[in-house]
Amino acid sequence: MKSLKYSLAISMALGAFVHEAEACGYTTYLPAGYYMYRVVDDTLPAHDISFAEENCLQWQQLTSEEIPLDHIHQVVYDMPLWQFMMLYDDSAGYFWTDNHFEQYIKYHDREVMDFLLLAKLNEELRAAHSSPWYYPSMRVEKYGYTLELIAEIAVESDAPRMRDRYLLQAIRALFTLGRYDECMKLWTEEAEKLPKDNVMRKLILPYIAGVECRLGNYESAMEFYAKIGDIDSMFMCARMGGYVLSMADAIAIAYRNCPDNPRIIEKLQRYVRDGENTYRGYGLEEEPRRLDPERRRMRNYAIEFASAEDAQHPAMWYYTAAMLYDMDNEPEEADKMLALAEQSEGSDFIHESIKVLRINVDARLKPYDRAYDKLLFEQLQWLDAKIRENIDEDVIETTASDGNLDRCVSYYYWNDMMRRILLAEVCPRMIDRGRGARALQLANMADNYLRSLVGYISEYVCSKGTNYCEDYETMTLEEYRHSSELHNYIDFSNDFFDMADVIDIEELVKYADVLEHPKGKFDEFLNARGYTDMDYIYDIIGTRYLRTMQYAKAEEYFQCMNSGYGYRLNVRLYNNPFEIEPTPYYAYGADFRYHFAREMAFMERYIATMEDSNRKAWMMLRYAIGMRNSFMECWPLTQYSYGYVGHRRCSGWWYSKEAKESIKHANNLIAEAIATFTDDEMAACVQYELSNFKTVATSYRHTRYGQIVLSSCDRLRDYRREFVK
């Protein structure tokens, strides 16, 4: 127990510090929040289940090798007491099944029947003792049996081939009754002497740990808990004993005691992962990417365990240290540890995890040059293969029917990792290095590859522009994307779209060019894994040009699109963009952006050549109102959404400085147009339409509109003062 005492002494200053990941509801994470650390396969059942499997195997050995394990499981674990009682007593009402174990024990092994009846009674009685309604003086009984009687029968059982099983039942009953000394007696006299790999002995150990804890032998209890890898109980016992135990220390202590216990490795994985996803979340300020002191302590343990002479899992521990350095924003140190991990002995499973972290660390450290492109291509090919090889029904169903993909919820390791590395690490760096087109290619693959592999969507479908969601529907991605009725929750709110919405337009244009003219295998690889419908891409580019008021360029892209694409958008144009006040207008139809761009481009050309100042002023005014409305009342011309879309934030552009400047520019143009009028009657008419009545009455009192205003009202105001020069 030397190591435990030592560790407890040095851990006094550190309290337990565990972040629990939000796993339910609609929490949304950033791509950086995907769990990367992986030392056990969490898609497999937890280790507790394996005890059940081991137990069923032993039952098989005790009875007949020909009985299927699931038949044994049904009787031992799933059959309720009342049903077993009917079987036991050959009750007339018993409904026989084709369960072989049931038939075998009924006709060939009464001893097993007796034992199972006792075990099931024990469980029911123990449950009653654990009920909140229980009070110590209550005499709890079931079918005439009490827990005391069960304990007595189990202790006195003389069935040698099931002595270990009766010992477990006796200790369970005695533990519940608080007869701890008798538990210890059974342990020291019998159970402790069972072979260490005996399942019953393994199942008895937690009770003995509990006994020690309740008897006040805290260190001994924690040693037992450490041996079985029950770190949560170690914490509980430490608290009862007045010790302060950190999670890192608890894991280290448990590992030293029992390095091969899968429960400890499971706990380690949960612990490291809890640190992974707490960095950022939508709606939260980005926090500095640093590790908490306790996890740094875990990192030190990892290095210690990895570099020990008799290290048992060196690759796993070097990998753990590398991961914790990476989480601490020290990729250089992570790189060193990873190199050691790569050279160390470990399972294929661990080495695959190492390779994922390698891709991540490379993304953080390598210069983004041609050599890195080549490396990244190779790494993505490997991830691509993993995604395709490991996809299963659960992944397909979750991808098709849940919002997990959009919300960056960890659910499919290989695709999660591709998304995390590309979206959180590679894309931002690519953009910083002026390679926006490549970043868009990568983001498109990250968002759309798995969806394209799945090929269909199955969710509550909602009508465009409303919150009314109809029944669950299943349809192909193509049908979903081409629907004129359904709100598209995929293509206008993912990371690729967010990026395309704000990246330099030149990069977007380059990206469109790469889609049409790939320059190599890597381009082809990425293009093949993204959503590359050119109408979708051109619409984004055209819309970006509308925002920057480059109408001729916008027209250029819109005119390349198939007519009717606008029906696939989530927005429609309902107002006339050239009216001062919102006025219903549907003449543009689905291609409203194209028609608007074309008209604006035409006016630009017309204004440039027109000489008559009043006619020019009218045209300028119409042009300026169109421009202003495209950012305000007629926002669907320049936006894909207003406010939030589902769980996503709205377009970043909407709140940008650029947006505010554009609106200001449009307002200035309106004022300029008004000032261009040389005909007072026309100018007065415009100010009247703008509801600037005070200006009409003061500056244009001699005009027809001046007289109308003066004869109608004597308390005059300008309602759009921004247009009064």
Partner 1 sequence: MLKTTTLIGGLFATLLCCAAHLNLPPEQVVVRHEAHDEPKNSIYHWMTTFSPTQQVLDFVAEHNIERIYMRMFDVDLIYNENTGESNIEPVATIMFKGEVPSGVEIVPTTYITYEALTSLRYHEEEYAELIVERILAMANYNNCGEIGEVQFDCDWTENTRKTYFKLLEHARGLLQEYGITLSATIRLHQLDEEAPPVERGVLMLYNTGNFRDIETENSILDVSDVKPYLRVKGYPLPLDYAYPTYGWSVSFYDGEFDSLVAGTEYEPQFSLEHVRHERPSVATILEVKRMTEEALGKPYQSNILYHLDESQLKYYSNDEITEILSRD
Q: Where along the sequence are the contacts to partner 1 (CB under 8 A)?
A: 82, 85-86, 88-89, 91, 114, 117-118, 124-125, 127-128, 131-145, 153
Q: Using CA of residue 55, residue 61, residue 64, residue 69, what is the dihedral sign? A: positive
By C-beta, is 164 or 501 nearer to partner 1? 164
Q: What is the DSSP letter of 648?
A: B
Nearest CA among 430, 420, 447 for reference residue 510: 430
CB of 628 to partner 1, least distance (A): 45
By C-beta, is 140 or 710 nearer to partner 1? 140
Render the burial of 349-383: b for 16+ CB within 10 Å, e for the rest.
ebbebbbbbbbbbbbbeeebeeebbeebbebbeeb
Nearest CA among 544, 543, 516 for reference residue 532: 516
CB of 350 to partner 1, least distance (A): 32
By C-beta, is 149 or 505 nearer to partner 1? 149
CB of 127 to partner 1, least distance (A): 7
By C-beta, is 124 or 164 nearer to partner 1? 124
CB of 33 to partner 1, least distance (A): 24
CB of 128 to partner 1, least distance (A): 4
Residues 476 and 563: beta-carbon distance below 8 Å: no
By C-beta, is 111 or 579 nearer to partner 1? 111
Q: How far apart are CA 721 and CA 715, in angstroms?
A: 16
Cα-based distances in Å from 306 to 341, 345, 452, 542: 9, 10, 41, 56
DSSP H helical segments within 283-425, as ranges? Answer: 293-307, 314-327, 331-343, 348-365, 370-390, 393-401, 413-419
By C-beta, is 124 or 555 nearer to partner 1? 124
CB of 113 to partner 1, least distance (A): 9
By C-beta, is 75 or 439 nearer to partner 1? 75
Q: What is the DSSP letter of 141?
A: E
End-to-end CA distance of the chain: 88
Q: How far apart are CA 25 and CA 21, in angstroms?
A: 12
CB of 242 to partner 1, least distance (A): 22
Cα atoms found within 13 Å of the Cα of residue 550, Cβ hemisphere only: 12
CB of 82 to partner 1, least distance (A): 7
Give the CA angle between residues 280, 282, 286 to the nearest 5°.
Answer: 35
Phi, psi at 460, each rounded to 5°: -70, 120
Place of tokens 């039942």: 169
CB of 487 to partner 1, least distance (A): 31
Residues 233 and 209: beta-carbon distance below 8 Å: yes
Residues 215 and 180: beta-carbon distance below 8 Å: yes
By C-beta, is 118 or 253 nearer to partner 1? 118
Beta strand residue intervals within 28-74, DSSP E:
none
CB of 19 to partner 1, least distance (A): 17
By C-beta, is 109 or 192 nearer to partner 1? 109
Q: Are strands 456-462 and 469-476 parallel, antiparallel or unpaired?
A: antiparallel
By C-beta, is 118 or 682 nearer to partner 1? 118
Residue 353 tokens read as 């995890």
CB of 142 to partner 1, least distance (A): 5
CA 53 to chain centre: 32
Q: What is the DSSP letter of 559?
A: T
CB of 73 to partner 1, least distance (A): 23
Instruction: Name residues whose C-beta falls within 8 Å of residue 279's C-beta, 6 or more positions apart in sequence.
Output: 30, 32, 33, 286, 287, 289
By C-beta, is 134 or 586 nearer to partner 1? 134
By C-beta, is 129 or 482 nearer to partner 1? 129
Q: Using CA of residue 351, residue 356, residue 360, residue 362, what is the dihedral sign? A: positive
Amino acid identity for residue 454 in this structure: V
